[in-house]
Structure 1
Amino acid sequence: MARQKGIIKIQGKIGGMSFYRQNGEYLVREAGGVSAERMRTDPAFARTRENQAEFAEAGRQGKLIRTAFRNSLAGAPTGSSAARLTQRLMKVLQADTTNGRGERTVSDGDLALVTGFEFNGKAGLDSTLFSEVSLGFDDTAEELTVSASVVPVTDVVAPAGATHFRVRSAVASLDFGEGKLKSAFAVSSEFGVKEGTAQAVSLVTAYDKALSAHTLALVGIEFLQEVNGMMYPLRNGAFNALQLRGYHSAV
């Protein structure tokens, strides 16, 4: 490490030297770091390569899941969901007992571990909708039925300004190996947040077990405001909850 002298101070890399500022001083040192070739071939970095491969696998499959549910995700802020979903999928592939380190996959892991994942990190379904939500997978009809009985005034925590809400569901068949997917979604009618009687919710969506044995189900709630007979999304969906509610393996 050496100090920079002269009127003009530099920050960045030039040639093999790295110029930087630390504690108010401008310093210079030889650029460090491990070369790409060494990282790729040196046995000392075997664990690093394995970790990188599995992190890439988790990120790739997280993108596939987000793509499958893109129609539903458009209704809520999901800025941090990509990173959080990758972290959750790392746990999934680490549960793979078939493949060795660096080769473990999401499809051979425990996909049930994604259950409960919230796409909106600031609004959770379990703290917004207190009704019991049932998921019924029918492999014969290849249909998912999401059902609930909701008493809005007691079962729904509605934000200020909301006059109505609706429940949504989505299902996705995911071929993680080939990167293929098939998804469908359904939305309930609007219910007033001050309704005191039970409202029946039953949403049916189709999945494709021929495409993949892996099926994920999403359940969410979105809030609306009625103005002059028209329904408008409330505050850009900031309070809408979207949760990966279940995993099903059609085997």
Structure 2
Amino acid sequence: MARQSGIIKIEGKIGGMSFYGQGGSYLVRQAGGVSGNRIRTDPAFKRTRENQAEFGEAGRQGKLLRTAFRNALAGAPTGASTAKLTQRLVRVVQSDTANGRGERKVSAGDLSLLEGFEFNVKSGLDTTLFSDLSLAFDDTGEELTFSSSIVPNTDVSAPEGATHFRVKVGVASLDFDGSKQKSAVAISSEYPVSGTTAQSVSLTAGYDKSVSAHTLAMVGIEFLQEVNGVMYPLRNGAFNALRLQAYHEAV
């Protein structure tokens, strides 16, 4: 490994050498590695192909999950969580005890492993909202019911500049094998963050178990700033928390 000198820094491959940036420095090394064709065909790379297949499965299902919750995720910085969600889904894939390596699936894994996943890596629900949260799934009415009693000035850790907050609940039925989903979002009224009176928050969102028995529920809190009677999102949603709260398998 050698460092690049001179005014112009290069990134890429030239004449069998690989030029790249790392940690603020620009380095160069001899290009190498195993060809893609060999990885795809050589028996020695069977384990590598298995890992790639399962990582691909996790990535595809992560995209389906984010699509299902796209309305609930609106207004929150979730880009940094994409890789972490894939990592969590790899754990779900690896928990599949019905299929062999390289063929394991999210749908056959332990989806409860997704519970507690935070979409905003810099603002978690457990460090933002401190009231007890209740979620109830009703397979008869196919409804998710959320309830909580929130005292704003003690149960909500509001960032500087926030004047109000609201709670949102998302629910989605996910057919991972068929790449189908159906979801719904329910959002509360706006409450002043300085309030000292307990606010009884109740929300209901529907889900369609005919799509799939696999149902995931998300709970979030969104911060706003009131200016002349108009509510504005606070700092592009940087402090909004969104968490996969519960997994339910419909009967």
1:197 match: 197
- Aligned mates of 1:243, 1:180 — CA distance in 2: 21
Q: Counterpart of 2:171 in structure 1: which amino acid?
A: V
Q: Deviations over 1:159-193 (max 9, x none)?
A: 11111100000100000001000000010001111
State the 1:19 CA deviation: 2.4
Q: Which residue of 1 aligns with 2:39?
A: 39
Give the direction of change, closer, same or farther, for the CA distance of 1:147–1:49 in structure 2 (3 Å limit). Answer: same
Distance in 1 separating the partners of 2:206 and 2:27: 63
Mark the CA change 1:195 to 1:37 in structure 2 (over 3 Å): closer, same or farther: same
- Distance of aligned partners of 1:222 and 1:42 in 2 relative to their CA distance in 1, 3 Å threshold: same
* TM-score, normalised relative to structure 1: 0.90
Once residues 87 and 144 of structure 1 are traced to their aligned partners in structure 2, the CA distance between those partners, rounded to angstroms, is 27
| 1:228-243 to 2 correspondences below 5 Å | 228-243=228-243
Match of 2:6 in 1: none
What is the CA-CA distance between 1:113 and the residue it aligns to?
Answer: 0.5
How many aligned positions are there?
240
Give 1:4's aligned residue: none
Which residue of the partner structure matches residue 139 of structure 2?
139
User: CA separation of 1:141/1:20 partners in 2, compared to 1, >3 Å: closer, same or farther?
Assistant: closer
What percent of counterpart residues are identical?
70
* SS across alignment from 2:63: helix
Q: CA deviation at 1:72?
A: 1.6
User: How high is the TM-score relative to the length of structure 2?
Assistant: 0.90
Q: Which residue of 2 aligns with 1:114?
A: 114
Partners of 1:117 and 1:179 in 2: CA distance: 21
Pairs within 5 Å for 1:111-190: 111-190=111-190
Judged with a 3 Å threshold, the aligned counterparts in structure 2 of structure 1 residues 197 and 45 are, in CA distance, closer, same or farther, namely same
Kindly indicate whether residue 62 of structure 2 is the aligned counterpart of residue 62 of structure 1. yes
Letter in 1 for 2:177: G
> Where do 4+ consecutive residues of structure 1 move more than 3 Å?
9-14, 20-27
Gaps of 5+ in 2: 2-8
Larger Rg: 1
Number of the residue aligned with 2:91: 91
Q: Distance in 2 between matches of 1:93 and 1:236?
A: 33
Report the aligned-residue RMSD.
2.1
Tell me if structure 1 keeps the 8 A contact 2:13–2:19: no
Closer/same/farther in 2, CA of residues 149 and 38 from structure 1, 3 Å limit: same
Report if the CA contact (8 A) 1:11-1:19 is conserved.
no
